[in-house]
Chain A
Amino acid sequence: MKKKVEVFTVTKNRRINQEYLILHVASETSLPEILPGQFVEIKVENGPNTFLRRPISIHEVDNDKNEILLLIQEVGEGTRLMAELKPGDKLDMIYPLGNQFSIPNKGNVLLVGGGVGVAPLLMLGRFLKANGATPHFLLGARSENILMDLTDYKKIGDVGVTTEDGSLGVKGFVTDHPLMKEGLANMDLVCTCGPDPMMRAVAAAAKSANIKCEVSLENMMACGFGACLCCVVDTKEGNKCTCTEGPVFDINELKGW
């Protein structure tokens, strides 16, 4: 897939809760093929401390409107500046970057997202369903008030929820949910994205249940397209670039997982 630098126009900035928002950005031309798990590199304008671009997953694609949707969590200056964008503002992005999750045409696939790690899973669920597989979502958050709006997810598959404070769904971490316990045996594939400790716990559970597991890594990136070699992860075949050979890896490829 050819990568390009393009200036998008913000069409909508939708607040989801105090930490999360969804940005809709439109291209003037029709979008190239974009696959679940791929990401963009955003140039943050006007930030004295935002010298490098910021990698953000592609949350959804609306091919009718030539729009890319980005789910953003405000964690620092760059993401705060993105949160301030208004319709009409410009956003300079390099895309589409990275590889993709597997999309089998049958079987049960568990999609486990923690925090902003849910970002690529909605589109992945849509692709899985369209291809003939059955997606099951398991979403974890600290508390109900920072959880995603679940409406779109429920249209695609069943949705399990865990919150650390017990305000919604099962109290605890994603690994405390029945879908990760009794339910796991029914799964043919587990795809996960979220904080490192969560992905490691999910991967460990999948491994002991002997189920194929793919993780989406969020290594620190300087370029996002394979030129700097800053984003490497230790694999059984030596260092690999998270930005070009990932961000999605089968846990069996990775060392120490």
Chain B
Amino acid sequence: MVNLAVDINGYSLKNPVMTASGTFGFGEEYEDFINIDDLGGIVVKGTTLHHREGNAYPRMAETPAGMLNAVGLQNKGVDYFINNIYPRIKHYNTGIFVNVSGSAIEDYVETAEKLNDLENIPGIELNISCPNVKEGGMSFGVHCPSAVAVTEAVRKVYKKHLMVKLSPNVTDVTEIAKGVEGAGADSVSLINTLLGMAINAEKRRPELSTITGGLSGPCIKPVALRMVWQVYNAVKVPIIGMGGIMNATDAIEFMLAGATAIQVGTANFIDPTITVKIVDGIKDYMNRHSITDVNNLIGGMIVD
């Protein structure tokens, strides 16, 4: 028997495989395909204080080894989540994290406060890649002071596990990681999507209604791995790594780079059973390498 359980700063996941926000709905969308309880954790769709319709169609474009999206945080708001969705999913025997987004610090704070009392929600993931409406629409996550400010403000009101999700669209990701660690984050997750763009040459028009959008999938994996490794060398809090994970080998690479757990995003669209296959694949790898505890993989890259 191998040990697959990992600990993210006091909260235990039965295995390191989680799902990435915005790619796994509320878990229910995958119930036909897998047993949600087999996962270490799930991060549900980005939730905001108020209902959001999201961006206009088209919201998606395929790119070589990846995709661009411009969903724009379509969701029915935190109250709807608490009253309608939470009662349907709270029985999952897995760590259910809510991805919290906002356009002003007060929105994040109010949303987080409302989630405090949900017994079966052990933590939230702060999506600081959202545009800060008061500061001219620049993302909270691209400047250290705004990333720190939003983390500090939420930390004051939120009692449980606070995971902060880092944007890759920055010059130095370690600076922001250290900043949010200092502001009270229990863990950091990375990376969110890379800002990208696609044009249809025949039509001479952008592929997305918003012109630019978020790039995800295997095309971003090398960037994501690099950032996980850099952050691993800069902070003490656990890291949840993601970006282009398509199989167990990819997941193990993230752990070797320093991630304690991983999230699977876009890959779920192509194979809705991929998460449980990754759990099995990690076990196989450990057996082949005579590793009995998955924790021995974390930061286990050997540099000769």
> What is B's interface to A at a CB cutoff of 8 Å?
22-25, 29-30, 32-33, 45, 53-54, 56-67, 69, 71, 74, 217-218, 266, 268-273
Q: Top 6 closest A-B pairs, CB basis?
A: A230-B60, A223-B269, A227-B29, A3-B32, A227-B25, A230-B59
Is the pair B69, A222 in contact by a Cβ cutoff of 8 Å? Answer: yes
Is the pair A2, B32 in contact by a Cβ cutoff of 8 Å? Answer: yes
Overall SS of chain A's interface: loop
Q: Which residues of A contact B29 (CB under 8 A)?
A: 225-227
Is the pair A230, B71 in contact by a Cβ cutoff of 8 Å? Answer: yes
Interface-central residue, A49, A50, A229, by most chain B CB under 10 Å: A229
Q: Quick one: which of B24, B54, B217 contacts A239, CB cutoff 8 A?
A: B54
Overall SS of chain B's interface: loop
Q: Which residues of A contact B62 (CB under 8 A)?
A: 49-52
B227 to chain A, nearest CB (A): 22
A230 to chain B, nearest CB (A): 4
**Beta-carbon nearest neighbor of B268 in chain A:** A227
Q: Which residues of A contact B58 (CB under 8 A)?
A: 219-220, 230
Q: Which residues of A contact B67 (CB under 8 A)?
A: 51-52, 222
A52 to chain B, nearest CB (A): 5
Decide if A40 is an interface residue (CB 8 Å cutoff): no
Is the pair A225, B272 in contact by a Cβ cutoff of 8 Å? Answer: yes
A38 to chain B, nearest CB (A): 14
**Beta-carbon nearest neighbor of A49 in chain B:** B64
**Beta-carbon nearest neighbor of B65 in chain A:** A51
A99 to chain B, nearest CB (A): 16
Alpha-carbon distance between A219 and B58 when the two chains are bound, in angstroms: 8
Contact with B along A213-257 (1 / 0, CB 8 A): 000000111111111111111100011000000000000000000
Alpha-carbon distance between A230 and B56 when the two chains are bound, in angstroms: 10
Is the pair A239, B22 in contact by a Cβ cutoff of 8 Å? Answer: no
**Beta-carbon nearest neighbor of A232 in chain B:** B57
Alpha-carbon distance between A132 and B69 when the two chains are bound, in angstroms: 44
Decide if A53 is an interface residue (CB 8 Å cutoff): yes
Alpha-carbon distance between A225 and B27 when the two chains are bound, in angstroms: 12
Q: Quick one: which of A4, A49, A220, A222 contacts B269, CB cutoff 8 A?
A: A222
**Beta-carbon nearest neighbor of B64 in chain A:** A49
Q: Quick one: which of A49, A94, A226, A229 contacts B71, CB cutoff 8 A?
A: A229
Alpha-carbon distance between A240 and B67 when the two chains are bound, in angstroms: 21
Decide if A43 is an interface residue (CB 8 Å cutoff): yes
**Beta-carbon nearest neighbor of A3 in chain B:** B32
Q: Which residues of B contact A220 (CB under 8 A)?
A: 57-61
20 pairs, CB–CB < 8 Å, chain A vs chain B: A3-B32, A4-B32, A5-B33, A43-B270, A51-B65, A51-B66, A51-B217, A51-B270, A52-B270, A222-B266, A223-B272, A224-B269, A226-B25, A227-B24, A227-B29, A227-B268, A227-B269, A228-B69, A229-B22, A230-B69
Alpha-carbon distance between A4 and B58 when the two chains are bound, in angstroms: 27
A206 to chain B, nearest CB (A): 23
Decide if A197 is an interface residue (CB 8 Å cutoff): no
Is the pair A228, B272 in contact by a Cβ cutoff of 8 Å? Answer: no
Given A2-B32, A5-B273, A228-B23, residue A222 in contact with residue B65 (CB < 8 A): no
